[in-house]
Amino acid sequence: MQFKEYSTIQASYAQSLVTITLNRPEALNALSTQVVDDLDHLLNVLEGEFGNDDGWQVRGVVITGAGEKAFAAGADIREMTAMTPGQAWDYSTRMQALTLRLESLPVPVIAAVNGFALGGGCELALACDFIYATESASFGQPEVSLGLVPGFGGSVRLQQRVGPSQARELLFTGRRIRAEQAQRLGLVNAVFGDREALLAAAGKTIAEIAGHSPTAIAAVKETMARVEGRPTSDGLAIEADSFKQAFTTSDMREGTRAFLAKEKPAFPGN
Ligand code: CO8
């Protein structure tokens, strides 16, 4: 799989994994409108991959930042100073739409945070299924220090991840926290010594997931998104439908057959 060259991001494919690198190290990978345009184009390409007949060539996505210092230091402050309220709304809703599309991909998306994940950078990481980080990574929502508020989903997703009380403290103080504390809060799943170890671990996790049924992974991801925030009884009803749907798949037939035959399953992916 080949991707075109973008001016603000890089995309590569190897061993079922697509790696997206935010690539504006001179501005600490700040999420400019050009980054939004480039991510939008790349997501169109990726979404097309899941609609074609080649099966599941892509089994996971990792998003990381170029350079030693940052995943992304937020929305582009230089650009924002010149925005009208209408342009700000457009910027916010376009990036929010991208985060929803990331959440709707039928494969896991891991944020590999290798430095600052601030403001919009933290919000982009929150739109991924889970976050791995380096020891030197830091997280925060400093919008209030700029007279701003989160605009890429932070007021919604941060409290979903760490609970309303911890989220309020982070959002009101604008405080930066280190990876280790972010892990204690449940924002980060695992912490690694350096960028190389971080990316290796993310790739290993995607490879582990790729050993399982792609239709089941996609269904679990979709079900978890659909039940979030719903009353338990509604969530359980959605889960039962998803469970029923699994029984229509060849993957389920193969997985259960292989178990009983004491063989490794060869999931057809449908
Ligand atoms: N936007 C644009 N440029 C940036 C940004 C940014 N967010 N962050 C850093 N840069 C640039 C700096 O201006 C600097 O450029 P130059 O070399 O031309 O002066 C370069 O990157 C390197 O940065 P520093 O020299 O500041 O590096 P330090 O190591 O000294 O500091 C920090 C690193 C602490 C990360 C510091 O750069 C910083 O505080 N950055 C801003 C972090 C921030 O406040 N982010 C939140 C932005 S608001 C936001 O994300 C809201 C999202 C919702 C928007 C909704 C739409 C309207």
Parent domain of 42? 9-210
Ligand 1 atom closest to Cα of residue 78: 2
Match 């039962």 to its residue by tokens.
Answer: 240
Residue nearest to atom 32 of ligand 1 (CA): 73
Specify the pLDDT at position 74.
Answer: 97
Residue 262, pLDDT > 90, answer yes
Mean pLDDT for 46-70 is 90
Residue 41 lies in a domain: yes
Q: Are 201 and 163 within one domain?
A: yes
Number of domains present in the structure of the chain:
2
| CB-ligand 1 contact for 142 (6 Å cutoff) | yes
Q: Are 172 and 253 within one domain?
A: no
Residue 269 lies in a domain: no
Pocket test for ligand 1, best of 23, 28, 155 (most atoms within 8 A of CB): 28
Residues 6+ apart with CB under 8 A from 232: none
Mean pLDDT for 214-230 is 97
Look up residue 63 and give its DSSP letter.
E
Question: How many CA atoms within 13 Å lie on the side-chain side of 204?
Answer: 8
DSSP letters, 1-31, are ------SSEEEEEETTEEEEEE--GGGTT-B
Residue 55 lies in a domain: yes
CA distance 13 to 20: 9
Question: Containing H/E element for 61?
Answer: strand 60-65
- Residue 180, phi-psi category: left (phi > 0), alpha (psi -120 to 50), beta (remainder): alpha
Q: Are 64 and 150 within one domain?
A: yes
Q: Are 250 and 191 within one domain?
A: no
Q: Are 106 and 205 within one domain?
A: yes
Residue 2 lies in a domain: no
Average pLDDT, the chain: 97
Tell me, in angstroms, the distance from the centre of ligand 1 to residue 254's CA.
50
* Residues belonging to the active site: 123, 143
Residue 76 lies in a domain: yes
pLDDT tens figures, 173-190: 999 999 999 999 999 999
Tell me, in angstroms, the distance from the centre of ligand 1 to residue 240's CA.
46
Pocket test for ligand 1, best of 24, 77, 84, 156 (most atoms within 8 A of CB): 77
Q: Are 193 and 234 within one domain?
A: no
Q: Are 124 and 111 within one domain?
A: yes
Bridge partners of 63?
Answer: 20, 111
Mean pLDDT for 192-206 is 98
Residue 18, pLDDT > 70, answer yes
Q: Are 83 and 148 within one domain?
A: yes
Residue 53, pLDDT > 70, answer no
Mean pLDDT for 204-213 is 97
pLDDT tens figures, 138-167: 999 999 999 999 999 999 999 999 999 999
Torsion of CA 126, 130, 134, 135, to 10 degrees: 80
How far from the centroid of its chain's Cα atoms is residue 247's Cα?
Answer: 28
Q: Are 70 and 200 within one domain?
A: yes
Q: Residues 9, 21: contact at Cβ < 8 Å?
A: yes
| CB-ligand 1 contact for 74 (6 Å cutoff) | yes
pTM for the predicted model, two decimal places: 0.97
Mean pLDDT for 242-255 is 98
Residue 223, pLDDT > 80, answer yes
Residue 265 lies in a domain: no
Q: Are 13 and 89 within one domain?
A: yes
